[in-house]
Chains A and B, each alone.
Chain A
């Protein structure tokens, strides 16, 4: 039986992150995301405008 891929494995395979550049804590943080959040990252990575300003909440 094949072991299920972690979120970070999955995002690495999709070319969205480079696991070699991330710390263990970083990878744990990504793995703690929900499946929906990971799907959203995959989807938006293809479409997001890299210059999109702000995140909506400001101080």
Chain B
């Protein structure tokens, strides 16, 4: 029997194409330090929304205490909130090593692509069903960087290794997060309608990730 995640993977192989291609273009441009700095900065912008989004899932799930998904989803979110807490601050520390102050980080207006990527999830959570958010997590936790890839960014950009501590940490810990999200998605008792909402949320995530990374690539001279 095909699992939810196997089904999602099949869909995502097509839907992830643009995002993966822009990711490849970014890697080719990583010889420009300003592009890599921008990449770390936008990851901070996205990371600052991660825990609040998961907290919003918990808030909304309280409206459905008898929902079959309640225990699986809330248990996963509580565990994952603990795992993701302070990652945005880790990026702040890395950016400081690149000469970008906390004040600069938080006073900059984020690109609309970042607001679209994270903000669209508030719609899925608040106005459809919080389980849709698993599509967002499925994309970003599963398609994570590898240690070899991060080593390439360090070499290509010539930026100090210490500034990549959060990116490198994700290359390591996301392998475990990937297994957790796959197991959780597969264990969800989903109706066809709810499965489709996860799939569309994943689709939208890939689409907006491509736009965020296109913006990052524009930092190239």
Q: Are B21 and A44 in contact (CB under 8 A)?
A: yes
* B residues near A37, Cβ cutoff 8 Å: 18, 207, 210
Shortest Cβ distance from A43 into chain B, in angstroms?
8
Q: Are B145 and A58 in contact (CB under 8 A)?
A: yes
Q: Are B177 and A59 in contact (CB under 8 A)?
A: yes
Q: Are B46 and A57 in contact (CB under 8 A)?
A: yes
Across the interface, name the chain A residue whose C-beta is closest to B181.
A59
Residues of chain B from 161 to 210 with CB closer than 8 A to chain A in the complex: 167, 170, 174, 177, 196, 199-200, 203, 206-207, 209-210
Shortest Cβ distance from A33 into chain B, in angstroms?
8
Q: Give a binary string over B79-121; 1 marks a CB under 8 Å from any A CB, 0 the rest.
A: 0000010010000000000000000000000000000010000
Chain A residues touching B, range: 20 to 34
Chain B residues touching A, range: 35 or more
Q: Are B21 and A56 in contact (CB under 8 A)?
A: no
Given contacts A25-B199, A26-B11, A29-B203, contact A59 B24 (CB under 8 A): no
* B residues near A52, Cβ cutoff 8 Å: 20-21, 23-24, 27
Residues of chain A from 17 to 59 with CB closer than 8 A to chain B in the complex: 17, 21-23, 25-26, 29-30, 33, 37, 40-41, 43-45, 47-49, 52-59
Q: Are A40 and B11 in contact (CB under 8 A)?
A: no
Given contacts A37-B207, A44-B18, A45-B17, contact A57 B24 (CB under 8 A): no
Q: Can you report 7 residue pairs joining A to B where beta carbons are below 8 Å apart?
A: A29-B200, A44-B20, A47-B21, A53-B143, A54-B149, A55-B22, A58-B167
Interface residues, chain B, with chain A CB atoms under 8 Å away: 10-11, 14-24, 26-27, 39, 42-43, 46-47, 50, 84, 87, 117, 137, 139-141, 143-146, 148-149, 167, 170, 174, 177, 196, 199-200, 203, 206-207, 209-210, 212-213, 216
Interface residues, chain A, with chain B CB atoms under 8 Å away: 11, 16-17, 21-23, 25-26, 29-30, 33, 37, 40-41, 43-45, 47-49, 52-59
